[in-house]
Structure 1
Amino acid sequence: MVSTGTIIIMSIVGLVAFLLPFAFIMVLRRWFQIQWIPILIGAVTFIIFAMVLEQISHFFVLGSEMGEEIPLLRNSPWLYVLYGVLAAGVFEETGRLVAFLLMKRRYRKLDSSISYGIGHGGVEAVLLLGIGMVSAITFSVLLNSGSSILDGLPPEATESVTGTANYMYVLSIVERVFAISLHIGLSVIVWVSVMDKGKWWFFPLAILFHALTNLTAGMFQSGLLDSIWMVYAGFIVMTAVTLWVAYMVGVKRSSHSRDDSI
């Protein structure tokens, strides 16, 4: 059984997940010119490169059926983690690179990369957390009603809902705030690699930062790390590093350019 309080918390978390992109727009529009087209490009690019192309790669590399243990995880946990973090970095940052190369002629300002990052991270929050909460609420209602629709599902499916503490749902919102911030920072870094001659190496740097940000989560998933707080610590530290680099190479550079033009 899932308590009514838990379902209410799920509902609030799901609603906040849908509203997060708009919250970022409202806050960042004070300093940047937020543009809807780059936001949409960021959202579409995430769907194509992360939700389609990356998943195809997972199918061929990991190749396990539902309910079966992934062979690579069983035989070499560290190799599984390495593949997972690099796949996320390579696919998403390549998507960013392709998008900025296509946008380069028309959208050349830093503001475009900020907008793109909101779209990229925002749609991720909606799809992974927002839609995820809708699914969890639906599952909880069916479970509480004793619906036969759930017959035949493995015990792990029920445990994933009934065994999750309420504070973890709240923490998921905090995680999404940092995740959207991370995607904005990575977008700025890749934007610099496209717009500034000789800065091509910022693109592989973005891949590295993305991979390192996911490292503790991959270790936790593979059983190499057993502390969820270490997962969040690693994630937050790398997000802070990424935002600092993005500020130094992008935001600060752009601010100086604006001052020089006055």
Structure 2
Amino acid sequence: MVATTQIIFMVMAGLASVLLPFVFILILRRRFKIRWIPILIGAAIFILFAMVLEQISHFLVLKPAMDGTISLLEESPWLYVLYGVLAAGIFEETGRLTAFLMMKRKYKRMDSAVSYGIGHGGIEAIIVLGLGMLNSVVFSIMINNGSSAVDNLPPALIESIAGTSSFTYILSIVERIFAITVHIGLSIIVFTSVMKKGKWWLFPAAIVLHALTNVTAAMMQAGLLENMWLMYAGLMIMTVIIGWIAYKLVVQDGRLDSNQHDASF
């Protein structure tokens, strides 16, 4: 059985995934002119490059078996981690680069990078956390109702849903806050590489920073790291580093020193 409290926290986490992008909009619109078009472009680019192209790469490179097992993960977990973090960095940052090159003529201000980052990180939160929680709620109801369909679910999945603490769902919300912050920061970094002469090197730097952000999570997935707090510590450290670099770039751009803080959409 899945406790009612757990289901409530699943619902809370799912709702939070939808609300978080709007929370970031409300906070950042004091400093930046948030626009919907870059937000929508950020969401679309994430879906195309991370959910379609990157997944095709995973299928071709990792070649998962019918039962879901991956030989690379079992034979060389460190190589699996290296591939995973680099794939995420390359595909998502290339998506950002592609978007900003297309947006270059019409959206030239740093505000567009911030808007893009909200869209990119926001749709990821909805897909990863929101849809994940929706599935968990549905499965939980099926388990509690004794549905015959539960017999077709993997025992490990049932154990995972029933054994996950409510506190874990709170942490998942915090994780998404850090993740959206990272995506906004990386968007500013790649945007600067496109808009500023001599700053091209920021694009490969963004790939490396993105990859490093995912290292502890990938290690956890590969069984190389068991301490959840170390995983979150890695994410927090990289969030601070990326946030600091992005802040410096924004200051250099003069956006924070400008009196033109138009908060309209």
Change (3 A) 1:256 1:154: closer
Which stretch has the larger CA shift, 43-52 or 145-154?
A: 145-154
Change (3 A) 1:3 1:257: closer
- TM score, norm. by length of structure 2: 0.95
The alignment partner of 1:54 has SS state of helix
**What do the CA deviations read for 1:130-175 (whole angstroms, capped 9, x no partner)?**
1111111001000111111122222111122112111110000000
Change (3 A) 1:232 1:66: farther
The answer as to whether partners of 1:110 and 1:251 remain within 8 angstroms in 2 is: no
Please list, as runs of the form range in 1=range in 2, the aligned pairs for 1:111-260 lying within 5 A after superposition.
111-255=111-255, 258=258
The answer as to whether partners of 2:108 and 2:195 remain within 8 angstroms in 1 is: yes
Aligned-pair RMSD on alpha carbons? Answer: 1.2
Instruction: State percent identity of aligned pairs.
Output: 60
Letter in 1 for 2:157: A
Letter in 2 for 1:244: W
Whole-Å Cα distance in 1 between the matches of residues 101 and 74 of structure 2? 39
The answer as to whether partners of 1:110 and 1:254 remain within 8 angstroms in 2 is: no
Whole-Å Cα distance in 2 between the matches of residues 28 and 256 of structure 1? 11
User: Could you tell me how far 1:17 is from its partner in structure 2?
Assistant: 1.0
Whole-Å Cα distance in 1 between the matches of residues 133 and 256 of structure 2? 43
Please list, as runs of the form range in 1=range in 2, the aligned pairs for 1:24-173 lying within 5 A after superposition.
24-173=24-173
The answer as to whether partners of 2:31 and 2:256 remain within 8 angstroms in 1 is: no
**What do the CA deviations read for 1:166-205 (whole angstroms, capped 9, x no partner)?**
1110000000000000000000000000001111110000
Change (3 A) 1:138 1:66: farther
The answer as to whether partners of 1:21 and 1:118 remain within 8 angstroms in 2 is: yes
User: Could you tell me how far 1:9 is from its partner in structure 2?
Assistant: 0.9
User: Could you tell me how far 1:255 is from its partner in structure 2?
Assistant: 3.1
**What do the CA deviations read for 1:55-105 (whole angstroms, capped 9, x no partner)?**
000001111135342100111111000000000000000000000000000
Whole-Å Cα distance in 1 between the matches of residues 258 and 108 of structure 2? 14
Q: What is the count of residue pairs matched by the alignment?
A: 259
**What do the CA deviations read for 1:1-20 (whole angstroms, capped 9, x no partner)?**
10111111111111111111
Structure 2 runs not aligned, ≥5 long: 260-265
Whole-Å Cα distance in 2 between the matches of residues 140 and 119 of structure 1? 30
Letter in 2 for 1:78: W
Whole-Å Cα distance in 2 between the matches of residues 125 and 251 of structure 1? 28
Letter in 2 for 1:94: T
Change (3 A) 1:227 1:256: closer
Whole-Å Cα distance in 2 between the matches of residues 51 and 251 of structure 1? 33
Structure 1 runs not aligned, ≥5 long: none
Relative CO higher for 1 or 2, CA cutoff 8 Å, sep ≥ 6? 2
Letter in 1 for 2:216: T
Whole-Å Cα distance in 2 between the matches of residues 16 and 257 of structure 1? 32
Change (3 A) 1:114 1:54: same
